[in-house]
Structure 1
Amino acid sequence: MDLGIAGRKAIVCASSAGLGRACALELARAGVDVVVNGRDTAKLTETAAAIRAETGVTVIEVVGDLSTEEGRAALLAACPDPDILVNNNGGPPLKPYTELEADGIRAGIEANFVTPALLIQAVLPGMVERGFGRVVNITSGSVKMPLPGLDLSSGARAGLTGFVAGIARQVAGSNVTINGLLPGSFDTARIASMTEAAAKKNGTTPAEEKAKRAESIPAKRIGDPAEFGAACAFLCSDKAGFITGQSLLIDGGAFPGIL
């Protein structure tokens, strides 16, 4: 399918690896010039080179922490008028709510609520003026199905979901959409760290914990990041202009609800 966005420009946050990288790659495959971001220079350089080699689009690298004002400023300076913004950031570490401290709570909210909210605030006026814009917020399946130990992540990301719900309706008439992608278990470093923690706790191996996780999913497998990237690219396409204010859960059927 031609997504109709060749020649557009996208900022993809935290895209040196994992789901962010998958989203940047799929957008590039659709002909979109991308700004990729991460804190690890070597990893970001490798990602950018791989995307350029496969797709031939312009890829700009911005090294920095988006949770800082300097990091956000550098990203926007590299692409002041993006057509597409994919918000993504690492979640707080797995930790029981009883062990959370004030500074950790503030950092989690800063990374997973304040940072994407400020980036949205910065890019929306230009999108509205140009009559095209796509914002995709990568949050978490825990927004719909809270998980023990991810309470801070769930709370911050649910807050972002609520924050953009009304904004999405305000800008929809200008062909600007805002949607959320809620990943379940995907084959990323995040899942690897969680299976390692579970293995240590249960006296098993990470492979055994990963197999148990896969078995608990109706699809009987862990998700491929490429599948997630494809969903992101579609939401950013000109075919998805009538989809806004939605949270798309991609979890292989793990969430047992109807809505």
Structure 2
Amino acid sequence: MDLGLAGRTAIVCASSRGLGRACAQKLAEAGCTVVINGRDRERLTAVAFAMAETTGSAVIPVTGDVATADGQAALLEACPAPDILVNNNAGPPFRDFRELDREAILAGVTANMVAAIELTQKVIDGMRARRFGRIVNITSGSVKMPLPGLDLSSGARAGLTAFMAGVARSVAADGVTINALLPGIFETDRLTAMIAATAEKRGVPAEQIEAERLATVPARRLGDPDEFGAACAFLCSAHAGYITGQSLLIDGGAFPGAF
């Protein structure tokens, strides 16, 4: 399917690895000029080169932390008028909520809620003026089905979801959509770290923890970041203009509800 994105520009935050990278890859494959982002300059440069080589699209690496003013400014300097913004950031480490002090809580909310709001504020009026815009917030399946140890991540991302719900309705008539993608368990570095932390805490092998997690997924497998990226690219496409204010679970059926 032609997504109608050739010639569009996209900023994909936290995209040097994992789900962010998969989203950037699919947008580049669709013909977008893509600004990718991460804090490891060497890794980011290598990813940009590989992505450009495999897609033929322009891929611009911007090193920085999207939760900071300097990081956001660098992204918008590289792409002042993006057609697409994919908000993404690493979640807080797996931790019992009793261990969270005020500083850690505020840092988690800044990284997983405030940063996405700030970037949206900076780009949305330009999108409205051009009568096209796509904003996708990568949150988490834990927004709908919270998990102990991910309380800060769940709370911050649930807050972002509620905040963006009203914003989405206010700009829909201008051709701008805002949606969220809620990943379940995908084969990423973050999942590996979470499994390792749980295994250490319980004193059992990591393989046992992974097997227990997979047993909760009707699909009986980990998600492939490539399929997540494809869903993101579709929400950004010319075909998705009537989809807004929605949260799409991509979790292999793990969430047990009908709605």
- 1:22-70 CA deviation, whole Å, 9 max, x = no partner? 0000001101110000001121112101110101111111000111110
2:154 maps to: 154
Letter in 2 for 1:142: S
Partners of 2:126 and 2:71 in 1: CA distance: 20
Letter in 2 for 1:172: A
1:64 maps to: 64
Please say which of residues 210-219 and 138-147 is displaced more in the overlay. 210-219
Partners of 1:181 and 1:203 in 2: CA distance: 33
> 1:93 and 2:115 equivalent?
no
2:9 maps to: 9
2:242 maps to: 242
> 1:226 and 2:226 equivalent?
yes
1:210 maps to: 210
The offset of 1:204, in angstroms, is 2.4
Alignment of 1:112-127 (within 5 A): 112-127=112-127
Partners of 2:115 and 2:19 in 1: CA distance: 18
Partners of 1:56 and 1:103 in 2: CA distance: 43
Which 4+ runs in 1 deviate beyond 3 A? none
- How many residue pairs get aligned? The number is 259
**Structure 2 portions without partners, runs of 5+:** none
Letter in 1 for 2:17: A
**In structure 1, the residue corresponding to 2:113 is in which secondary structure?**
helix
Letter in 2 for 1:89: N
Partners of 2:66 and 2:9 in 1: CA distance: 19
Partners of 1:62 and 1:24 in 2: CA distance: 13
- 1:204-243 CA deviation, whole Å, 9 max, x = no partner? 2223322222222100001000010000000000000000
Calculate the TM-score normalised by the size of structure 2.
0.98
> 1:163 and 2:137 equivalent?
no
1:258 maps to: 258
Calculate the TM-score normalised by the size of structure 1.
0.98
**Structure 1 portions without partners, runs of 5+:** none
- 1:90-143 CA deviation, whole Å, 9 max, x = no partner? 101111111110000000011011100000000000000000000000001111
> 1:73 and 2:108 equivalent?
no
Q: CA RMSD in A?
A: 0.8
2:51 maps to: 51
Partners of 2:257 and 2:216 in 1: CA distance: 15
Partners of 2:25 and 2:155 in 1: CA distance: 29
The offset of 1:4, in angstroms, is 0.5
Letter in 2 for 1:204: V
Percent identity over paired residues:
63
Partners of 1:104 and 1:183 in 2: CA distance: 23
